[in-house]
Amino acid sequence: MDQDYKTILKRFKDEVTSENPLSKAEQELTIISALTVLQANDDLKEHFSIALNTVSVDLIREVVYQLSPAVGSSKVKNALRILNTVTKKDGQHFAIPEDAYKAGLEFQEPLYGNEIKDLMADLPANAGKLLPEWLTKNFFGDYYTRGALPVKDRERYLLAALITMNVDFQIKAHALGSLRAGNTESELIWTALTLLPYIGFPLVINSVQKIHQANE
């Protein structure tokens, strides 16, 4: 890396970190969520190593696993491949719920109600039934039922990934869901600000506005 750029970047990263009220572990898991989206392999390896100084590999794996319904399996598999070059320890195993739909609804309804089901209701060819059903089963039933990561934290790290993807509708929805899960506006805004050195000011400023509107 060019020395001048390296110096500028380090100074900015250090400033964002020093002013950040989130814990060091929370900052690292937020960054890992964004880097998984970006598939920034060198940065992922660096931040996996840093995170392992403050959190367990089980927690790191859980943060990465849960991104799959939002960012896709290829990006998650890429991140896990990088993680496995840093540590060979397998993740904690959990029982898969027998009724993933019912189990998922228990997490989805308090945060999002029937929003997606109602939004997709008039889609043709059975898509209006299957798409929200699969979302409930996979997004919530397969991942939120795993006990390694509290729902409050799941929502916050997921929001970091959505901010990185710049998906406006989902940022608005999950900012509100994150607040309902127990996060404060300050925690969510600092989740966005933590990402500044990695995704830049335009995406962060846009997302901070959406978070602030969700809290009004």
Per-residue pLDDT, 145: 94
pLDDT band for 12, please (50, 70, 90 cuts). very high
Per-residue pLDDT, 52: 96
pTM above 0.75, yes or no: yes
Q: What is the mean pLDDT of residues 113-123?
A: 82
Closest-CA residue to 140 (of 158, 125, 124, 123)? 158
Question: Which class does domain 3-94+146-214 fall in?
Answer: mainly alpha
Q: What is the mean pLDDT of residues 186-190?
A: 98
Q: What is the mean pLDDT of residues 94-109?
A: 92
In the 3-class helix/strand/coil scheme, how is 160-211 assigned residue by residue?
HHHHHHCCHHHHHHHHHHHHHCCCCHHHHHHHHHHCHHHHCHHHHHHHHHHH
Per-residue pLDDT, 15: 97
Instruction: Report domain extents, the chain.
Output: 3-94+146-214, 95-145
Q: For 50-80, what is each residue's pLDDT tens digit?
A: 999 999 999 999 999 999 999 999 999 999 9
The rounded distance, in Å, linking the Cα atoms of 68 and 127 is 21
